[in-house]
Amino acid sequence: MEVTLNGYYTLILATLVLLMGRFLVKKVKFLEDFNIPEPVAGGLVAAVIVYALNIVWGYSFNFHQDLQTACMLMFFASIGLSADFARLKAGGTPLLIFTAVVSVFIILQDVVGVSMAKLLGLDPLLGLVTGSIALTGGHGTAGAWGITLEEQYGVVGATTLGIAVATYGLVAGGVVGGPVARRLINRLGVQPSAVNPNPTPTEELAGKQSLYSTKHDEEDVYRNKEIFEKPDNIRLITASSTIESLALFAAALAFADIMTNVGQGTWFELPTFVWALAGGVILRNVLTMVFDFHMFDRAIDVIGNASLSLFLAMALLSLKLWQLTDLAGPVLIILLVQTLVMIGYAYLVTFRIMGKDYDAAVLSAGHCGFGMGATPTAIANMQAVTDRYQPSHKAFLIVPMVGAFFVDIVNATVLQIFTKLPFM
């Protein structure tokens, strides 16, 4: 029996999934320790319930796709609208170097995924899902590319697999980051020290001023700390700033729609969400650099985070878990290899290129976090290290900007190139 739900009921169920996820994350220590997102925690439970209803009573559910797509596009537009290239200057040369290190790893991750998939007899496009789509990209990118692979390339189960791989990545990234950093720090001979885990703003600023000389640098550090270290903090947003931000989102989505239609059948045909990200990047940097327009980042962050949560809740409600049965064994092998590659790269490449010092060790822990999982995992990894040893303000400036903003732009570019390769 097929049940079709309109936009209203889809939205209601999505919000219930989010509330259930919040409850589970607060009550289950494992979920909290490994930074499992609330939409994922609640959504996986909902997916199991939907699966049980299908097996026992034969119910099949169709959810409102337009609403899900709109939330996905708004999330990617928020990434673009947050990607201020002026911050590259604030991070300096280390930010550029770290971005390059991460970019090379994204390519390596996809090479490993595609090679392993072909070796195990799977569709090479599934290798991208077990590569940077779900690992570096996380749940949002996994859901977006999953839909694209299913609709445009006929890859059955891409969305379901992507969500599962991204969930594995969150756990794996949180598990391996700390040990990698500790081993590197022990090599350096740095001893654990008593660090105040909750410094006052004056103490925190005094430490940062030894590294950053401009007001812009300090604002970036505080903004990153507010967004990524304290995501539940109250953010003061006015009605006018919300409307202004929504207008920017509307412009980015309109740009994405126009470019998707214009690009059909041409060499620059791209998924709509890639154009939404690109539209946000163009808007952000043209308005700030040319017109000196002040973006209200708090509103952009909140709208983007809410859109991602709703999109993930709807995507997980639509999961078809039975599609993963035949893929479980080969996919697990690929993921274990990807985990070993991440450890080796962070240990041998990230640490050495970033300076072979304490900051480089903390950056390596952060790279493990978002290279396998997501930026919050990277932040949690670095917090665990700095709480035991000493602060690393350099790492807390660089990792959030690369992990949350620039890596998605690089990842989208690399994936688009891979999908066009003849052996795919």
pLDDT digits (tens, 9 = 90+) for 16-34: 999 998 999 888 887 776 6
Q: Is residue 20 part of a domain?
A: no
Number of neighbouring beta carbons within 10 Å of residue 92: 14
pLDDT of residue 72: 84
Structure tokens at 188: 């350096």
pLDDT of residue 79: 79
Mean of all residue pLDDT scores within the chain: 81
Q: Is residue 49 part of a domain?
A: no
pLDDT of residue 226: 46
Q: Is the pLDDT of residue 382 over 80?
A: yes
Domain count, the chain: 1
Q: Is residue 314 part of a domain?
A: no
Residue carrying the six token digits 């300090």: 218
Domain containing residue 133: 72-158+172-305+326-420
Q: Is residue 341 part of a domain?
A: yes
Instruction: Report the chain's terminal Cα–Cα distance, integer Å.
Output: 37
Nearest to residue 184, comparing CAs of 417, 420, 392, 20?
392
Q: Is the pLDDT of residue 218 over 60?
A: no
Q: Is residue 214 part of a domain?
A: yes
Band of residue 325 on the pLDDT scale cut at 50, 70, 90 = low
pLDDT of residue 214: 36
Band of residue 317 on the pLDDT scale cut at 50, 70, 90 = confident
pLDDT mean over 142-149: 87
Q: Is residue 165 part of a domain?
A: no
More confident site: 180 or 206 = 180
Residue 355, sorted as left (phi over 0), alpha (psi -120 to 50) or beta, turns out to be left
Q: Is the pLDDT of residue 397 over 80?
A: no
Alpha-carbon gap, residue 170 to 163, rounded angstroms: 11
- Range with top average pLDDT, 85-99, 111-125, 197-211, 226-240: 111-125
For residue 49, the surrounding DSSP H or E stretch is helix 38-57
Q: Is residue 234 part of a domain?
A: yes
More confident site: 288 or 200 = 288
Nearest to residue 318, comparing CAs of 310, 306, 307?
310
- With beta carbons less than 8 A apart as the criterion, state whether 415 and 110 touch: yes
User: Out of 79-88, 138-147, 269-278, which region has the weakest mean confidence (pLDDT)?
Assistant: 79-88
Q: Is residue 233 part of a domain?
A: yes
Q: What pTM was computed for the model? A: 0.70
Return the DSSP state at 368: H
Q: Is the pLDDT of residue 221 over 60?
A: no
Q: Is the pLDDT of residue 144 over 70?
A: yes
3-state secondary structure 310-366: HHHHHHHHCCCHHHHHHHHHHHHHHHHHHHHHHHHHHHHHHHHHCCCCHHHHHHHHH
pLDDT of residue 219: 45
Alpha-carbon gap, residue 405 to 399, rounded angstroms: 10
Structure tokens at 97: 């170097």
Band of residue 403 on the pLDDT scale cut at 50, 70, 90 = confident
Counting residues of the chain whose pLDDT is more than 90, the rounded percentage is: 26
The residue type found at 229 is E
More confident site: 412 or 267 = 412
